[in-house]
Structures are given as structure tokens and as C-alpha cells.
Amino acid sequence: MRKLRLKKPVSKSISYKALFFLPIVLALAGSIMVLEASSIRSIAEFGYSYHYLKLQLIWIGLGVLAMLFFSFFNYKHLYLFALPLIVITMFLLIVVLVPSIGAKAGGARRWIDLGFFNLQPTEFAKLATIIYLASWFSVRERKRFFSFIFLLGALIGLILLQPDMGTAFIIYSLGLIIYFLAGDELQYLVTVIPLSAAGFLLMIKLAPYRFARFMAFLNPNEDTQGISYHINQILISLSHGGLTGRGFGASRQKYLFLPEAHTDSIFAIIGEEFGLIGGVVLIFVYFILLYKLYILYLQTSDRFGKLLVGGILTFFGMQIITNLAGMVNLIPLTGVPLPFISYGGSHIMTSFMLLGIAINISRKKR
């Protein structure tokens, strides 16, 4: 008798096509909103409406190419580049603090002016942190917690000097969560987390501008034309959007009332024009992306790949939560961009590269 071949049970499989097309859809939709939010500012600064849109589309094109490259580049080879990458990142974080090199805007020195574009080292620091910690923790090793804390502290310290509290919090979260996923000497986290929280509160207390922003978060109705102006304009945008929004192109806050309308505060313009429904749709698309990454994390078997996916999932989750929570005043405003939606070349490139790595892990797994 012929033996009957039983088919293997079909398990939940992560399609790398979803990881490829979702960010492109988000980025193209984001470019339309960048045009909406930046057209008035673009006319005021450059004399035509499409300056920021043109640059955003260029970065999206380069980002897609980077995603394609990393989706075919064997992710296991990233292990070899982990140390040089973190060293270069530390060097750039130091260089950006040099007054003659680092470009200063809004009281912060976060960009290196390369002529044809501004490089933001903190965005690539997120990429470097994920790759380096995943490679380091892919090999089990005892008594490295204090070395890990020293490295994480050095990165956060350089970022705080710019200053950039939002990115420092993202790097901190990335580090601790990757360490937790690695499962080494977890007992230290019981003490380091509350101590770190106390340290962040102390830094807020000691820096007058951070303390003022924190007070604006606690009471946005005070000093509405001063430190609370930004969050109040965001809340005005969202409240005027209502359930269905004013309609595409009908935003009033984009007429230079809302600061950073095309970058960190772009969700306020989305809420104003498309209302609660539009905001929920965007959050749902993000949820699908995070869910796909979560399934990939569960299905990845090799330790290095699993830690990489865990770091990538943490990166997107923290970026989305931090930005949106700031928009609705659940946390103080931090200046963290919304992935694929906010204007900016460095964060667009970093986001596409990380998803390219995730796609490669998914392809190798299949």
C-alpha cells in the first residue's frame, strides 16, 4: 500500500511582502501630508509649495533602495559590522557637538550639515544600538551587565548634550528591552529601572527648559503663548478635527500656527483634516506592521536574528507610542518623529533599513 503523506500543519507565517509594501504605503501617504503641512512654510521660505515634498520623495526613493539592499544582504553578516558601526556612531555623536560642524536649530545641536543634506546622527544611533546589542547578546556571556550599562550611559550622555531627551529615552528603552530579550542576569533590571527613572526626573529638574516643558505637560493652560504654545496648538488641531475632520486641504493650523507641523507634529494635521476616523485608520496600519514584526519575532529561531527583530519591533513601537502620546498630552512633547509619516531624511532612511533587515530575516526563515 502507498503511504499517505500528511501535509504539515499550516502555521502562522509572516509574509515579507507585507513588511515591504506597508512602509511604502505609509511613506507615500505621509508625503501627501508633508505637502499639506509644509506648503505655507515652503512658500514663505523658498517661494514655492513643493520644497519639502520634493526632498521627502527623494528620501523615500533612497529609503526603498536601502530596504531592497538590506532585504537581500544576509543579515548574519551584520555581526561583522556591529563594532565599526557603533564606533562610527559614537564619533558622529561627538562631532555633532562641535560648534563649527554641528548645525544648531531650536536650541539643539543635532545635525551635521553636509551641504546637500543634514545628517542626524541620533537616528542612526538607534540603528547602531540595535545591531550592536543584538550581535553582542547573541553570544551568551556572564558578568557583562556593567559593561552594557556603561555603553548605554555613554550613548545617552552624548545624546543629552545635544540636547535630545526623546531620542535618549528611545535608546534607553531599546537597550533595556534587548537586554531583557537576551535573558542574561535579569535580576539587575530590578534596581536599574527605578534608578534610571529617578535619573531622568533629576535631569528634568536640573535643566530649566526641560522643567518648563514638563510643567507645560502637567498644566497646558498656563503660559499658552509661551512654553505651552506648542501643545495647545496641537490640541486645537485635534479638537477641530472632530470625528471626520475638516476635510483634505482644509487645515487652518498649517498656516504657521502649529510649530513643526510637517515633522514631529504632523499627526495633529492628520487629525485636523481627517478627524478621529483618520487617526484610528493610521494607528490600525501601524498595528498591522507591529503585529507582523511580532509574529516574525516568535518564528525566528536563531538568537542573533531574534534579537534583531526584537530590537526593530521595539524601535517602531517606541517611536509610534512616544510621538502619539505626546500629541494627546499623555507625556511631554519629545520631538520624536512619526515613522514614515514625519518629514526628515535620517529617520526615513533608518526606518527603511531596519525593515529591510526584518525582510531578510523573514526570507531566510522561509
For each of the chain's 366 residues, which pLDDT tens digit applies? 444 454 444 344 456 788 999 999 999 999 999 998 888 888 988 888 888 999 999 999 999 999 999 999 999 999 999 999 999 999 999 988 887 777 766 666 777 777 667 778 888 999 999 999 999 998 877 778 888 889 998 999 899 888 888 888 899 999 999 999 988 777 777 788 788 888 878 877 777 777 777 888 888 887 777 788 888 899 999 999 889 889 888 888 888 788 888 888 999 999 999 999 999 999 999 999 999 999 999 999 899 999 999 999 999 999 999 999 999 988 888 888 999 999 988 899 999 999 999 999 998 776
> Residue 155 and residue 27: Cα distance in Å, rounded?
29
Residue that is written with C-alpha cell 553636509 in the block: 114
Q: Residue 209: its pLDDT value, please?
A: 75
> Residue 300 and residue 304: Cα distance in Å, rounded?
9
Give the residue extent of every domain in the chain: 23-365
Q: Residue 131: its pLDDT value, please?
A: 96
Q: Residue 184: its pLDDT value, please?
A: 74
Q: Residue 80: its pLDDT value, please?
A: 92
Q: Residue 14: its pLDDT value, please?
A: 53
Cis amide linkage into residue 332, ω under 30° from 0: no
Q: Residue 12: its pLDDT value, please?
A: 47
Backbone angles phi, psi at 242, to 5 degrees: 60, -145
Q: Is the backbone of residue 221 left (phi > 0), alpha (psi -120 to 50) or beta?
A: alpha
Residue that is written with C-alpha cell 514663505 in the block: 44
**pTM beyond 0.85, yes or no:** yes
Q: Residue 15: its pLDDT value, please?
A: 62
> Residue 212 and residue 159: Cα distance in Å, rounded?
20
